Amino acid sequence: DQPGSTDGTLKVGMVFDVGGKGDKSFNDSAYRGLLHAADQFGVEHTEFEPGQDADRETGLRKLAQARYDVVIGVGFLFSDAMRKVAADYPDVKFACIDFDPRPGETLPDNLAGLRFREEEGSFLVGVIAGFFSETGRIGFIGGMDIPLIHKFEAGYIAGAKYANPAVSVTVAYTGTTPQAFADPAKGKELALLQYRRGVDVIYHAAGSTGNGVIEAAREVDRQAIGVDSNQNYMAPGNVLTSMVKRVDNAVLMTVRSVVEGNFHGGLREFGLADDGVGYAVDEYNEDLLTDEMLAFVEDARQAIIEGTVSVPKE
Amino acid sequence: MFELAVLDSALRMATPLILASLGGLFSERSGVVNIALEGILLTGAFASIVATYYTGNPWAGVFAGVFAGVLISLIHAIVSIVFKADQIVSGVAINLLAMGLTQFLTWIVWGSSANSPSVQGMAHWSLPEIWGPVARGVNVVISHYPPLVYVALILVAVSHVVLFRTPFGLRLRATGEHPEAVDTLGVSVHAMRFAGVLLSGAFAGLGGAFLALNTHQFVKNMSAGRGFIALAAMIFGKWSPGGALAACLLFGYAEAVQMGFQGQAVPTQFVQMIPYVLTMVALVGVIGRARPPAAIGKPY
Amino acid sequence: MSERHAVQMRGITKRYPRALANDRVDLDVEVGEVHAIVGENGAGKSTIMKVLYGLTPPDEGSISLWGKELSGHRPADAIREGVGMVHQHFMLVDTLTVAENVVLGAEPCSHGCLLDVAAARERVRQLSSEYGLSLDPDDLIENLSVGLEQRVEIVKVLYRGAKILILDEPTGVLTPQEVRELFVILRALREAGRTIIFITHKLEEVLELADRITVMRDGRVAGVVSAAATTKEELARMMVGRDVLLRVTREEARPGEPVLQVAGLSAIGRKGSHVLEGIDLEVRSGEILGVAGVQGNGQTELVEVITGLRRASAGSVTVCGRETTNRSPRQMRDLGVAHIPEDRQARGLVLGFTVAENLILGRHHRKPFSSRGLLSLDDIRTHAERLIEEHDLRPRDPDGDAGHLSGGNQQKLIVAREFDGGPALLVASQPTRGVDIGAIEFVHTSLLRMRDQGAAILLISAELTEIMTLSDSIAVMYGGKIVAQFEGGAVGEEELGVAMTGGAGASAGGSAVRSDGRPPRHEMGAR
Amino acid sequence: MSRFARLSQLLSPLVAVAASFLVGGLVVVAIGENPFHIYAILFRGAFGSVDAIGLVLFNAVPLIFTGLAVAFAFRAGLFNIGGEGQLYIGAFVCTLAGLAFGGLPALVLIPLLILASAAGGALWAAVPGFLKARFGVHEVINTIMMNFIAVGLTSYFVINMLREPGQMTPQTSEIAFAGHLPRLADSLSLIGIPLPQANPLNFSLVLALGAVLLAWYILYRTTLGYEIRAVGMNAKAAEYAGINVRRTLVMAMVLSGAFAGLVATNEIMGFRHRFLDNFSSGLGFMGIAVALLGKNTPLGVLLAALLFAVLNTGALEIDIFTDVPRELILVLQAVTIILVVVGNEVFARRVAAREGRAAGVPLPVTEASGETK
Ligand SMILES: Nc1ncnc2c1ncn2[C@@H]1O[C@H](COP(=O)(O)OP(=O)(O)OP(=O)(O)O)[C@@H](O)[C@H]1O
Ligand SMILES: Nc1ncnc2c1ncn2[C@@H]1O[C@H](COP(=O)(O)OP(=O)(O)OP(=O)(O)O)[C@@H](O)[C@H]1O
Ligand SMILES: [Mg+2]
Ligand SMILES: [Mg+2]
């Protein structure tokens, strides 16, 4: 029997990252996972977005005190709070997306740190961008200028050079505050500027700021690459592909493991090998991607999985 | 530095600032401090997206943005003019209100308190190509920017004329300088100040509509401090439409340059400080003391 | 309602939070007369006029103009009925031009909605020449002298076709010449059939100009008299409710050592021109040196330089034998220089402070009020209670807000503070401006007593009578220079007046005088 | 002041708060929820347990500091919108010192870090203060600009130079343990108050209460406070009185910034023990609202900060356990401010009207001389 569940239904709490529900990107991916879980296992769930940093810890604690069975924090900013709260509530299962471990840290049995090799997925969309670009100039627009986003940038650049060593990459960041993940107006301007300078593909890793990037692509009829969720539908024909980070799968998997009683703590990394990251092909972009291109990308993917190509993180 | 793309970008970035600072100008010229520009921008942005979402017509969004700006500035007017409360307090409260209300309503309308779905944007102006080479020539000019950019520029000129060449403008300026004098001449100070504050709501609301419609969606806090920058621009521009325009263009330009020249040797954070440092240096070095309307902030 | 009455007010009552400003006031003004209203500070004169003009709604009472009763009227209605008002504190917008100020609220238009600036200019020129006002429609108000500002106010009223002119203390800030010119204008207006109501504290003026006089006291009408049938003494008694000394008696001065020596003093104004040029003065202990002059001829700047509020560009100031040029205000105060500033609300008082806090202003950092950075509340209070007692400040509440005192009591507060502690030098600038005759009497007696106790006093006043009554010697300033010096008692009002306008014998035209011959507006302590 | 005046001064904020709850309740009804349920949850979140009350106090502490900062500057006639930047720099300097002086004993390190926090904030505020005093540049613009600059600067150093080794999170390593302010749980349990160990409330609360007293003391009991108030109310009179207006302006900004900087005692020394990039999310701006609501008096700031903390703490509860989003609380806070200022005005007018009537009692008739005509 699960602790705390009075009528036997599992209670899952989810706490979002900056940008919040509806960002069509990172948070939405996590939320989709939660909804799937609710569908499949009939769990009861609540979710919210903390107002200030201290609320992260307080919020997790409140969920634990309210006898939630699983508490999921979306984003690495929850790492510290998760450590503390997990230690205080050994009966509650915690999962942290993008958990940021200290070197050599081992996690308690009730805390799962779920990490993604974003650089690998970014590498593949970089390959596509490098392959696709006619001008030989591609762009990257990051949200907040922080190490996590540098991973996306590094993988993307490496992938592009892998496809076309002569390609040049223009890099820009929206800002240095969390607001940088939620400023589509600025995202659009940054993108327009890059397009005007001859860039023809831009990969964004900028939350809802990226909506502006995609909007710019639509407006000037160039290409954008979405991130985290599959964003191809947002401007059919102008979103070359999306680097999908399967946060939804990770969430679903976590809930399933609790339901099935085989949840265990510790770090877990999702990469290309286990479909934790990837690129999206669907009806909105299949016309943009040639078979030759796809074959090339698939080769790259295999090479990464087999370890013959190594992807930089910084 | 003077790359055309950067200049274009500067003008577009400056547009919401221009509109908001014109708004601030009308309010402050009538003697009412308007620190609520930030909140009005946000409200205008939200309303424009809601209206566009339901009607599918971005011009309905523009109208709604203006209307919502007027509505929320009406609160400022009533609180600070009728009830003579501290204008800064009222402005701070309105910023808070706008932040809460737009998120709350975003949640009611779309189920997320942070983001709206994408809506129809505003088409650039253009004459039909079949009108021949003349139309093509005109289009080079009028379809280069989103329509509201042109509207904003025209409004700068209109504001100048209204302020300095009409009886209304004369009365408005006099009200900001010496409300008692205006009162003794049989002109209602309250009416002038209401006009100033509501106009500021209309302008800043329009600025918000531009901000949101240009990105086709509403995102919480999307004004992102632009109201404050607009306020700075208005002071920088010494409370005149031309000056405010110049200041907004400068800020827009600094921001565009910052965007355009990132990723080179200097860290992003430092590049992003350029507009702020520039403003401070300019205020000390070039501009010196700006002289606000004499009766500003004083209830009457 | 009588035909011959331009104004009839009945039973007007107006209450303010802390005062009953008008208490069942009746006022009748006949068509075509000059009607004066006199009374002490706070008697309710301004209030009754504001009620008439529709600026302040009365709590009770009725108002009729031309026999027609008004109710709930606003200034716009009063203007329409032909009432115009020149306010005690001028209602001019500094940053606008003369023409803009005149047409404000009743602007001529062209092209439908644009301001017709040319028409505005033309009207001002026309009115100005009709009554000999010599105004330039394009001048900015901030560049005008007070006398000219007043003319702008008059043109504003005339532009609106006023048939009843209200002037609230119009002569308080004018030179004798300007007063005479104003009277000429007012007489011309009366000849032209207009009705004039004017408020003043100066009884000579009343008797000279008015046909009838309403005397107010404590918010009530104390009486209505005809100018022909009354005297100054009677008016004063009605105003104050007792006999008043209209002239203080003055002993011969017994001057001692020089306390203030000013040599070759110059100062530069905001626009780079000399506002002071080569001033030489000496004031000895036990002596009053009066400085006469039209406002704006450097008196303000002279006082500011002497008290450390403005920098001198050349020359020296010596106090008690010590060179003190360009010392800070605090250093000057610590040397025993006291200062009654010309603008009590702008400089002399902190209006949000209590009476007690205001009574230590300038000495708040010294013992006993402050030691080791901490305030000594007991000593501050004792000090306040003593001064309130000695100077009869009302209300007798050290914790009351100084902003709630009447003008006269505010001035008394400053006088009390600056007289206290036996200063070596007292710089008194316009010490009785706008205060009533009772308070004037008090200030004048106090100044003389201080002199007799050995203080040196530099008295700056635009009020010639004041200068002549109190001074042991007199200097006249014009265009930033001392243009004449006289022994007290050895000079007549006429002679002084001539020197003040830079005429006869005075070396006219300092560089501070603008090319159009008007003195520059004084610049407030921009350092 | 009459009893009526005093009473209404006390009552007007209470009435306003009640009225804003009414408005909020109507909004809740409008979206089809039960307002009593929502408010019950709000108050459970704020007062439901010792833990909850501890959280309220914890959330109040930074607001007290930033509120005092705004209120203090206001007294000198300065509008300090820069609390946000000042608290970042205060926190940054505090963290630097906490990292650098790890060898010192707590008895030395704690006071040192408190000073460092205040000094950082003071330094950041001194710049706009100086620019105002020296060049007359409006402090509102400069404080806004310096907020952006502070965020950028700290962000750069934290991410690029001081980041905890091996960590992706943009935060520094933990400061020396000797520099941690103890949590209050242990001390309170000594006097029988069962505050859970995990509650973040710490000794910074004591500092905040001390700061309230200090601000009051400086303003009303020291010569400097007298000069600050004089400059704020009438700078020309202050100059006339021999007060060095420029120096006083800078001093007021310095003290104001110091109060803002002290936020670090709670956030860094008491709670997080490290600098997290962008940790504040608008505490400085909230301080403006707090100061204004508290009418710029130290005691008022304390009460307003508590009110806001109650609402913020309850907001989290509402957010988690109901379908109503926390933004309702933002609306509530805004409406409270508006109603308080409007209420002040309305009450002031009623008081005026009442006292006017009191003044209107007929005076004893003085012998008014008749007409001499
Ligand atoms: N706006 C106001 N608010 C409160 N009290 C006022 C106001 N205006 C005038 N009073 C009070 O009303 C009384 C009459 O003031 P009023 O200005 O009419 O006097 P006055 O006769 O014009 O004096 P003075 O000769 O100094 O100009 C005074 O006691 C004053 O304190
Ligand atoms: N809004 C107000 N609230 C309270 N008291 C006021 C207000 N306005 C004016 N007063 C009071 O009214 C009194 C008279 O005001 P007024 O401006 O007529 O001064 P005054 O005595 O006529 O001096 P002056 O001749 O220099 O104008 C003062 O005591 C002033 O404190
Ligand atoms: Mg008067
Ligand atoms: Mg008066």
Q: Which residues of chain A have pLDDT under 50?
A: 1-5
Write out the two tokens for B228: 């404050």
Rounded Cα gap, residues C334 and C330, in angstroms: 6
Do C369 and C433 fall into the same domain? no
Which pairs from D33-41 meet CB under 8 Å and 24+ separation? D33/D322, D33/D323, D33/D324, D37/D322, D38/D318, D38/D322, D38/D324, D38/D328, D41/D314, D41/D317, D41/D318, D41/D321, D41/D322
From residue A3, give the alpha-carbon distance in Å to each of A89, A262, A265, C188.
11, 15, 17, 101
Cβ-Cβ contacts under 8 Å for C455 (sequence gap 6 or more): C259, C285, C286, C422, C423, C424, C425, C426
- Judge residue A275's burial from the number of C-beta atoms within 10 Å of its C-beta, 0-12 exposed, 13-18 middle, 19 or more buried: exposed
H/E element, A14: strand A11-15
Q: Check: CB of residue A50 under 8 Å from CB of residue D278.
A: no
Low pLDDT (below 70) residues in chain B:
1-2, 263-265, 285-290
CB contact under 8 A, B85 and D344: yes
Residue with more model confidence, A19 or C506: A19
Query: Which tokens go with A307?
Result: 């370890």
SS3 A168: strand
A121 — phi, psi (to 5°)? Answer: -65, -40
Mean pLDDT of C150-162: 89
C375 touches chain D (CB under 8 A): yes
Separation in Å, CA of C57 to nearest CA in chain B? 13
Q: Mutual orientation of helices B4-29 and B167-177 as an angle, nearest 10°?
A: 70
Domain boundary among C420, C437, C457: C420
C55 shares its domain with C114:
yes
User: What is the whole-number distance in angstroms between the Cα of residue C441 and the centre of ligand 4?
Assistant: 18
> Are residues C234 and C95 part of one domain?
yes
Q: pLDDT: is C89 or C303 the higher one?
A: C303
Distance, in Å, from the CA atom of D99 to the CA atom of C205, rounded to the nearest integer, reads 80
Report CA-CA distances (Å) from C249 to A84, C324, C492: 89, 34, 18
Give the residue carrying structure tokens 């003019």: B81
| E-only strand ranges, B220-280 | none
CA-nearest residue for atom 27, ligand 2, is C407
Answer yes or no: do B289 and D136 touch at CB < 8 A: yes
Which amino acid is residue A164, in one-letter code?
A: N
Question: Ligand 2, from C404, C410, C430, C437: best to mutate by most atoms within 8 Å of Cβ?
Answer: C404
pLDDT-based confidence at residue C511 (cuts at 50, 70, 90): very low
> What is the distance between the alpha carbons of residues C183 and C245, in angstroms, rounded to a whole number?
27
Three-state secondary-structure class, residue C165 = strand
Give nearest CA residue, ligand 1 atom 27.
C41
Q: What percentage of chain B reaches a pLDDT higher than 90? A: 52
Sort out which chain A residues have CB atoms less than 8 A from D159's CB and list them.
Answer: 145-147
Of the candidates C82, C101, C87, which has an alpha carbon nearest to the alpha carbon of residue C56?
A: C87
Residue-wise pLDDT for C219-268, tens only, equals 899 999 999 999 888 888 888 776 665 566 777 888 889 999 999 999 98
- From C389, C405, C420, the end of a domain falls on C420
Which residue in the block uniquely carries the two structure tokens 């006469």? Answer: C292
Per-residue confidence (pLDDT) for residue D358, from 0 to 100 = 47
User: Which chain A residues in 129-148 lie under 8 Å from chain B, judged by CB atoms?
Assistant: 145
Q: In whole angstroms, how far apart are CA D101 and each of A20, A203, B82, D94, D113?
A: 39, 44, 56, 11, 9
The sign of the torsion formed by the CA atoms of A52, A57, A63, A66 equals negative
Q: What is the DSSP string of D328-343?
A: HHHHHHHHHHHHHHHH
Contact C211, C35 (CB under 8 A): yes
> How far apart are the CA of D369 and the centre of ligand 1, in A?
22
**Nearest partner of C458 among C245, C265, C277, C288, judged by Cα:** C288
Query: Residue C433 maps to which CATH number?
Result: 3.40.50.300
Contacts of C333 in chain D (CB under 8 A): 241-242
Q: What are the boundaries of each domain within chain D? A: 61-308
* Length, in residues, of chain A: 314
CA distance B88 to C170: 37
Is chain A in touch with chain C: ≥3 Cβ pairs within 8 A?
no
Residue among D169, D277, D316 minimizing CB distance to A100: D169
Pocket of ligand 1 (CB under 6 A): C 16-17, 19, 21, 39, 41-47, 88, 406-407
Q: Tell me the one-letter amino acid at A108.
A: P
Given C240, C267, C289, which residue is the final one in a domain?
C240
Residue D125's closest CA among D170, D183, D163, D80? D80
C417: Cα separation from own chain's centroid: 21
Say what the pLDDT of residue B286 is.
58
Q: Determine the residue type at B98.
A: A
CB D311 within 8 A of CB D322: no
CA distance D112 to D103: 13
**CB nearest A193 (choices: B217, B260, B267):** B260
Please answer yes or no on whether C361 and D370 come within 8 Å at the CB atom: no
**Strand A239-245 to strand A223-228: parallel, antiparallel, or no bridges (unpaired)?**
parallel
Q: What is the per-residue pLDDT for C71?
A: 84
What is the D277 CA–ligand 3 centroid distance (Å)? 61
- What is the reported pLDDT for D90? 98
As averages over each run of 10 residues, the pLDDT of chain D (373 residues) reads: 67 82 89 90 92 96 98 94 96 97 94 98 97 86 89 90 87 95 92 91 97 97 96 94 95 98 97 92 89 89 95 90 83 85 78 56 32 31
| DSSP one-letter string for D111-127 | HHHHHHHHHHHHHHHHH
When CB atoms are compared, the residue of C74, C105, C156 closest to B171 is C105
The residue behind tokens 């070596």 is C424
Asked if D141 and B283 come within 8 Å (Cβ–Cβ), the reply is yes
d(CA C200, CA C436): 10
pTM for the structure as a whole? 0.84
Whether the per-residue pLDDT at C133 is higher than 60: the answer is: yes
Helices (H) and strands (E) in chain D, counts: 15, 0
- How far apart, in Å, are the Cα atoms of D92 and each of D83, D187, D262, D273, D284? 14, 28, 11, 11, 15
Whole-angstrom distance, CA of residue C185 vs CA of residue A2: 100
Could you please report the per-residue DSSP string of D170-202? SBBPPPPGGGPPPBHHHHHHHTT----TT---B
Instruction: Answer whether residue C344 is part of any domain.
Output: no
Does B6 touch chain A if contact means CB atoms closer than 8 Å?
yes
Our measurement of the distance from residue C22's CA atom to the centroid of its chain's CA atoms, rounded to an integer in Å, reads: 23
Whether B259 has its CB under 8 Å from any CB of chain A: the answer is yes
CA angle B204, B208, B209 (to 5 degrees): 115
Whether C404 and C416 map to the same domain: the answer is yes
C197 and C312 both lie in a single domain = no
Cross-strand bridge partners of residue A74: A97
Task: Confirm whether C342 is domain-assigned.
Answer: no
Question: What is B4-120+132-285's CATH topology?
Answer: ABC transporter involved in vitamin B12 uptake, BtuC (1.10.3470)
Cβ contact D169–A48 (<8 Å): no
* Residues of chain D positioned with their CB less than 8 A from the CB of A12: none
Residue C172 sits in the same domain as residue C294: no
Q: Provide the token pair at D275.
A: 């600098």
Strand ranges in C245-313 using DSSP code E only, listed in sequence order: 258-268, 274-284, 287-292
pLDDT over 60 at C521, yes or no? no
Identity of the residue in A20, A170, A171 whose CB atom sits nearest the CB atom of B115: A20
Chain center to CA of C204? 17
Supply the residue whose CA is at minimum distance from atom 11 of ligand 2. C404
CA dihedral B254, B256, B257, B259 (to 10 degrees): 120
Q: Is residue C343 part of a domain?
A: no
Q: Same structural domain for residues C253 and C150?
A: no
DSSP β-ladder status, C456-460 and C370-371? unpaired
Question: CB-based contacts of A99: which residues, under 8 Å, 6+ apart?
Answer: A76, A78, A79, A82, A107, A112, A113, A114, A115, A267
Q: Which domain holds residue C70?
A: 5-240
Q: Which residues surround ligand 4, an ion (CB under 5 A)?
A: C 46
Q: How many domains does chain C have?
A: 3
Residues C161 and C214 in one domain: yes
Would you say A149 and A118 are in contact if contact means Cβ atoms under 8 Å apart?
no
- Residues C302 and C356 placed together within one structural domain of the fold: no
Q: Which residues of C283-298 are buried (b: 16+ CB within 10 A; e: fewer)?
A: bbbbbbbbbbbbbbbb
What are the tokens at B117? 């779905």
Q: Is A21 on the interface with B (CB under 8 A)?
A: yes
Give residue-wise pLDDT tens across range B143-187. Answer: 888 999 999 999 999 999 999 999 999 999 999 999 999 998 989
Number of H helices, E strands in chain B: 12, 0
* Binding-site residues, ligand 2, Cβ < 6 A: C 17-18, 41-42, 46, 88, 403-407, 434
Q: How far does the CA of residue C229 sit from the closest CA of chain D (Å)?
A: 7
**Does ipTM come in above 0.85?**
no
Question: What is the pLDDT confidence band of residue C94, given thresholds at 50, 70 and 90?
Answer: confident
Measured CA to CA, the distance from residue B216 to residue A238 in angstroms comes to: 16
CB atoms within 10 A of CB D105: 8
Q: Are D116 and D105 in contact (CB under 8 A)?
A: no
* Cross-chain CB nearest to B183 (options C75, C103, C114): C75
**What is the spatial distance between Cα C329 and Cα C337, in angstroms, rounded to a whole number?**
9
Do both C415 and C427 map to the same domain? no
Per-residue pLDDT tens over the stretch C167-179: 988 876 676 777 8
- Say yes or no: B262 contacts chain A, CB-CB below 8 A: yes
One-letter amino acid at C274 equals H
Could you tell me which CATH number the domain at D61-308 has? 1.10.3470
Residue D199 C-alpha from the chain's centroid: 22
